[in-house]
Structure 1
Amino acid sequence: ETTQAAAVFDSSEIPPIGIDKYLMRLSATFRCSDATFIAALVVVDRLLEYDTGRLPLTMKNVHRLFFASLVAAVKYHEDEVYSNGHYAKAGGVHLREVNRLERVLLVALDFDLRVTPEQYRLYEASLLGVCKSSSKDMPLCLAAPGCPKKQPMSVAVTPASTASTEASSDMGQSDAPAGPGGDISASSTPVRR
C-alpha cells in the first residue's frame, strides 16, 4: 500500500515549475488563510512519516504532496472552500487527479487532519526562523503569520496567453489541463459550509 501511495504522488518527471513559483501560484489561487498553509505543512510531514517514513520527499513528488495536503487542509480548516475543479485549475492537474491525490492522502492519514495548537505554534515558529535566516522571499515564509516580509495574498498569476503552455507540464503530466489563466475567481465561487 505504501508503494502505491508513493507512486500516486510521483510525477513522471520533475515538474519544470519550481516549488517556489508553484507555492506562490497556490497561494494566489487557493485564497485560504495563512494558518491553512501552515496546517498543510503539518499534513505533509505527517504523510512523510506514514508507514515509518517509507514515502521520501523528492523533486518528483514535492509539488503533488503539498498540493494534496493543501486541498485537504483547506477543506478541514476553512469555512469557505472552492470546488475540486477550481483547485485542479490552480494546481495544473486534472480533476480526477485531484480526487485521487486527496483520497490517497486521507486514507493514508486515516482521515486525521487535526492540528493541535502546540503543533501549529511549533511549525509557525520553525517557519519564521527559516524565513528570518533566509535572504530569499520564500512562499511559505510569506504565508507565515508575523513574517516581516509578508505581502498580500494577491500574487500575480501567469497570464492566460502563456498559462496553458506552462501548466501542461507543471506537474509532469502530458495531458494536464491549462493552469490558472489570469484570475480564475470569475468562474469559481466558494461554497460556505
Structure 2
Amino acid sequence: MSRSTPTMASNKAALDYFISLPVSKEMISHLAGVASQVIRCETPSAPVKNGQLITPPDSPSQGPASPALPSVEAFITSLVEKSHVQVPTLMSSLVYLARLKARLPPVAKGMRCTVHRIFLASLILAAKNLNDSSPKNKHWARYTNMRGFGSFGFSITEVNLMEKQMLFLLDWDLRIRPDDLYTHLEPFLAPIRSYFADQERIRAARQRKIEMEEFAHQAALAEEKQHYAPSQRTVRMNSVASSARTPSLSPPSRSSSSNSTSPDIDSLNEPFEPANMAPEPMYIHNYDNESGAVVVHFEPLVPMTKTPHHRLPVYDEKPAKKARIGPVGGGFLSRFLGGQTRTAV
C-alpha cells in the first residue's frame, strides 16, 4: 500500500508542531547518525604502513597516545545542555550536513574527531543564520569541554577555523528553504502528519455520528407528527358533527325558501331577535251576501324600520335667535348709514 503524497498544508502543520517540541533523545540520535555518515573516519587501531602513520594524523597536537573521544551522540547532548539550543536551530543543522555530504568526494577520509568538528561547525552556522543573538565562538569553544574525557575539547582558534572551512565547503550557501526542512525532517514529520490525520478522522466520525443522531431525531419527530395528525382531524370532525346534532334552545328563524326542509347549523346558533323577523300579512274575512262567498281582503305590508336606541329631542317650535345689538351691516356700511343700530329678534 503506497502512502499518499503529503500536501503543503499538512507539511506546514506538522512542521509548526514539530518546532514547538523540546529536544528529545530521538532527535539527538538522528543527528548523530546523519553526522557519522558525512565522511569516513579512521579508527585508532589503524595499521602502520612502511613505518609511517596514516595521513592525516589522528590529531595535530597529540602525541603517540590517543586520548579517549566521546561518542558523537554524547557530544551533541553536552552541547545541547550547555548552549540551551532549541529544536529549530538544532535540526536545521541537518540541511548543512546533507549539503556537505553532497559536496565531499566519496573517497574523502577524516580524523577521529572530524565528525565532532563537522557537527559543531554546522550548528554554529545554523545558530548564527537563524537567530539574531547567538553564542560567540569563545562560548562554543568552552561548551566543547566534557567531563570524563581528559583534555578533549577545541580551542577558540580551532573553532574559528572550523567555521571558515565549513563556509568554504558549502560555497557560502546558508539559505534554508521550507522544502529543505520537509525533506530532511521527514522522519519526524511523518508521524505527526499521521497523528493529525487520525485526529481528523476521529473528529469527522464524531461529526457524522452527531448528524446521524440529529437526522434520526428529526425523523422520529416527523413520524410522531404523522401518527397523531389523523386522530386530531377525526376529533375535529367529530366535534363539528356533534355540534351540528346538538339542538339549539333558540327558536328557529323563518326561512324565505319553501323548498328547504332542514334549518342551517349557523342559523340555529344565531340569537333570537324579533325585530329581524318579517311581519305576517294582515287579512280580513268578509261575507258577501249577494255571491254567497267569503271575501278576503289583504292589507299591504308596511316595511318595518328599526327604532334607534338614541334619538335627538323633538322641539315643537324652533328656538328663538339670540338678540344681537350693534351697527347694521358692520364695518363700512355702518359708518355710511350713520351708525344706525337695530335689534334682531
TM-score above 0.5: yes
Aligned counterpart, 2:98: 45
8 Å CA contact 1:46–1:109 kept in 2: the answer is yes
| 1:10-40 superposed Cα distances (whole Å, 9 cap, x missing partner) | 8526852111111101111222221111111
The amino acid across from 1:69 in the alignment is S
The amino acid across from 1:20 in the alignment is E
Q: 1:125 to 1:86 in 2, by over 3 A?
A: same
Aligned counterpart, 1:29: 82
Q: 1:14 to 1:96 in 2, by over 3 A?
A: same
**1:107-146 to 2 correspondences below 5 Å:** 107-127=168-188
Cα root mean square deviation, aligned: 2.9
**Among residues 71, 74, 82, which one is paired with 1:18 in the alignment?**
71
Q: 1:29 to 1:55 in 2, by over 3 A?
A: farther
TM-score (normalizing by structure 2): 0.32
More helix by share: 1
The amino acid across from 1:39 in the alignment is S
Q: 1:113 to 1:61 in 2, by over 3 A?
A: same
Q: 1:98 to 1:11 in 2, by over 3 A?
A: farther
List runs of 5+ in structure 1 lacking aligned partners: 1-8, 133-144, 147-193
8 Å CA contact 1:88–1:95 kept in 2: the answer is yes
| 1:111-164 superposed Cα distances (whole Å, 9 cap, x missing partner) | 1111110111222222567xx8xxxxxxxxxxxx99xxxxxxxxxxxxxxxxxx
Q: 1:14 to 1:78 in 2, by over 3 A?
A: farther
Q: 1:15 to 1:78 in 2, by over 3 A?
A: farther
After superposing the two structures, state which structure 1 stretch, 27-36 or 95-104, moved more: 27-36
Q: 1:50 to 1:76 in 2, by over 3 A?
A: same
How many residue pairs were aligned?
Answer: 124
Q: Which has the higher contact order (CA 8 A, sep 6+)?
A: 1
**Among residues 71, 76, 99, which one is paired with 2:129 in the alignment?**
76
8 Å CA contact 1:36–1:73 kept in 2: the answer is yes
Aligned counterpart, 1:104: 165
Q: 1:78 to 1:98 in 2, by over 3 A?
A: same
More strand by share: 2
Q: What is the percentage of aligned positions where both structures have the same residue?
A: 27
Q: What SS class does the counterpart of residue 81 from structure 1 fall into?
A: coil
8 Å CA contact 2:182–2:189 kept in 1: the answer is no
CA distance in 1, matches of 2:88, 2:180: 12
